[in-house]
Amino acid sequence: MPGYRVPLDDIRFVLDDVLDIQTHYSRFEAGSAADSDTVAAILEEGAKFVERELVPINQTGDAEGCEWRQGGEVITPAGFKEAYTQYVESGWPSLSHPEEWGGQGLPSSLGMTLSEMSGTANWAWSMYPGLSHGATHTIETHGSDEQKTTYLNKLVSGEWTGTMCLTEPHCGTDLGLLRTRAEPAEDGSYTLTGNKIFISAGEHDMAENIVHIVLARLPDAPEGVKGISLFIVPKFMPDANGGVGERNGVTCGSIEHKMGIHGNATAALNFDGAVGYLIGPANEGLKCMFTFMNFARIGTALQGVAHAEWAFQNALEYARERLQMRSLTGTKAPDKAADPIIVHPDVRRMLLTQKAIAEGGRAFIYFLAIQADLVEHATDEAVREEADQVLGFLTPIAKAFLTEAGFEAANHGVQVFGGHGYVREWGMEQNVRDARIAMLYEGTTGIQALDLLGRKILLDKGVSFKAFRKTVAAFCREHRGVKAAAPFLRTLRWMMLEWAYLTFRVGLSARKNKDAVGAASVEYLMYSGYLTLAFFWAQSAVAAARKLEAGEGDADFLNAKLDTAAFYFDRVLPRTRGLKAAVLNGPDTLMAMTADHFGR
């Protein structure tokens, strides 16, 4: 059976040594409770929970899947409901929510560590509580006092879960086409009619109520995205005591038969005169929903890291034990019939790529979580604004690049196992199937690339891009004296200049031909992703080198960091050469062929 051990040493290294989390927490009131002892306790107890409760039901949940029953009920796989009950009873859902609503008031960056653990242990299960965080934050940010009082305590405690209901069968990403209608009622509520699809955790038996956050149109709404409003639509109407009352007019018509994440119910929901409540201003629903969507995009980026970590751990264990052929440089295990496959360069290439993606991606995600802390809690307006700019700029890169890279790492897991990787019992093929969705939901790689290049670069006139470059430049200046990391910093400084030049060239081309943006966008995003990950590997190298110089920490662990950083800069980062060429080659060869000629 495949397994997963929470990499506590690496999580602590990223938090303490790379990102200096305690200094970060000391800068705002909500961080004061997250002292080193509290953080250590949460990491250790979280690791115990996911290893004991979630890992054992990951593979069985995939095999069993969810069951849709007549009437719209969905039964989750064996053990899912029991694990969720324990999760709620242990207080995990409330970790990073305000005390005002029954939360523990700890920073969201600390909650991200638990999300990583549970997501890596069992991605399908983790999506049930995962969607609730976004729903909760949306109501906190945009809801009325009455809506907050009605829903937040239950969502924060985990007694109720949440979803977001965006797209419809004919929409895809183009939400301007949605048709779900919301008719005003005399009591101030609205009556919603329509259909939503691809609703993760849209129906299940794990919690007593589900709170749907739904996009719909008012009768007099303008066409397109400017005519979309946001509504709260509970599965069961709250009663006078705040509990579960009558069933609302929203039902699950079916669940999807998917390639992966079988343990999570992806629902088609029918709204047949369902009672809903407007949240936020009329016709500004999409703007309000971005609160939810940005959270979801970071969570999806985390999925790439989770699948890379799962693949790496299991592939590494297998590569150490599997005997096949002899090393080209001479026998390494003379007492055995063949050498372990970890001696072979190509196997090492795959393992190191997995390691570089998982550990570099972890630093990337935690850095984003710190920016989110600052946006939420910083008292200095300039600090908050810069963090918001950096977060907005990096979110599409993280979502698209880390999911693409995580899928690559998952595929390497199958390849290391060889033919056994194609067989279900080893768990590698499930990891690939589960990872594949991450490049699709919350906006495909192409959509994220257009957001990055079109909105965050060109429309923003490079403001957020400059904010991130400022962060990188400051880091390189501050640590230029760290000898072991000097080659990485030199490369990083030079490539940051190249990134700026590449951006300028694309912008210049777009003035002459708007297709230049769409033609360059995905390669540009991937280039940006590899360079951004290089920044986090440079940070890791600096942290490792400084601890080694001070004679602190586990020398083997720290030297492995430096070795992995060297591998990344030497063998992975050069992929940017081909991406740069593709970006600069422009749209001509993409757009020259007529649509009729594609099949010729």
pLDDT digits (tens, 9 = 90+) for 385-432: 999 999 999 999 999 999 999 999 999 999 999 999 999 999 999 999
Give the residue, 510 or 57, on which the prediction is more confident.
Answer: 57
User: Could you tell me if 76 and 205 are in contact, meaning their C-beta atoms sit under 8 angstroms apart?
Assistant: yes
Our measurement of the distance from residue 430's CA atom to the centroid of its chain's CA atoms, rounded to an integer in Å, reads: 19
pLDDT for the residue 103: 95
Q: Given a cut of 90, is residue 171 above it in pLDDT?
A: no
What is the pLDDT confidence band of residue 435, given thresholds at 50, 70 and 90? very high
Mean pLDDT of 558-577: 98
* End-to-end Cα distance, the chain: 48
Report CA-CA distances (Å) from 258 to 65, 124, 263, 379, 430: 10, 12, 10, 45, 12
**b (16+ CB within 10 A) / e for 299-322:** bbbbbbbbbbbbbbbbbbebbeeb
Q: Given a cut of 80, is residue 313 above it in pLDDT?
A: yes
Our measurement of the distance from residue 145's CA atom to the centroid of its chain's CA atoms, rounded to an integer in Å, reads: 30
Mean pLDDT of 196-207: 96
User: Could you tell me if 266 and 202 are in contact, meaning their C-beta atoms sit under 8 angstroms apart?
Assistant: yes
pLDDT digits (tens, 9 = 90+) for 442-457: 889 999 999 999 999 9
pLDDT for the residue 291: 65
Q: Which of 309, 442, 478, 549 is catalytic?
A: 442
Q: Given a cut of 80, is residue 531 above it in pLDDT?
A: yes
Q: Given a cut of 90, is residue 520 above it in pLDDT?
A: yes
pLDDT digits (tens, 9 = 90+) for 235-294: 999 999 989 999 999 999 999 999 999 999 999 999 999 999 999 999 998 888 776 677
Using DSSP's 3-state secondary structure scheme, residue 196 falls into strand
Nearest Cα residue to 372 out of 339, 398, 352: 398
Catalytic residue at 442?
Answer: yes
Q: Say which residues have a Cβ less than 8 Å from residue 150's Cβ, sequence separation at least 6.
A: 238, 242
Residue 593 DSSP code:
S
What is the pLDDT confidence band of residue 224, given thresholds at 50, 70 and 90? confident
Residues in the chain: 600
Which amino acid appears at position 218 of this protein? L
Q: Say which residues have a Cβ less than 8 Å from residue 553's Cβ, sequence separation at least 6.
A: 17, 547
User: Could you tell me if 125 and 54 are in contact, meaning their C-beta atoms sit under 8 angstroms apart?
Assistant: yes
pLDDT digits (tens, 9 = 90+) for 14-40: 999 999 999 999 999 889 999 999 999
Q: Say which residues have a Cβ less than 8 Å from residue 497's Cβ, sequence separation at least 6.
A: none
pLDDT digits (tens, 9 = 90+) for 110-134: 999 999 999 999 999 999 999 898 8
**Where do runs of H (alpha helix) occur along 266-380?**
285-321, 345-377
Mean pLDDT of the chain: 95
Say what percent of the chain tops pLDDT 90.
Answer: 90
Q: How far apart are CA 16 and CA 12, in angstroms?
A: 6
User: Could you tell me if 183 and 235 are in contact, meaning their C-beta atoms sit under 8 angstroms apart?
Assistant: no
Mean pLDDT of 530-541: 98
Q: How far apart are CA 246 and CA 183, in angstroms?
A: 20
pLDDT for the residue 107: 95
Q: How far apart are CA 102 and CA 361, in angstroms?
A: 32
pLDDT for the residue 134: 87
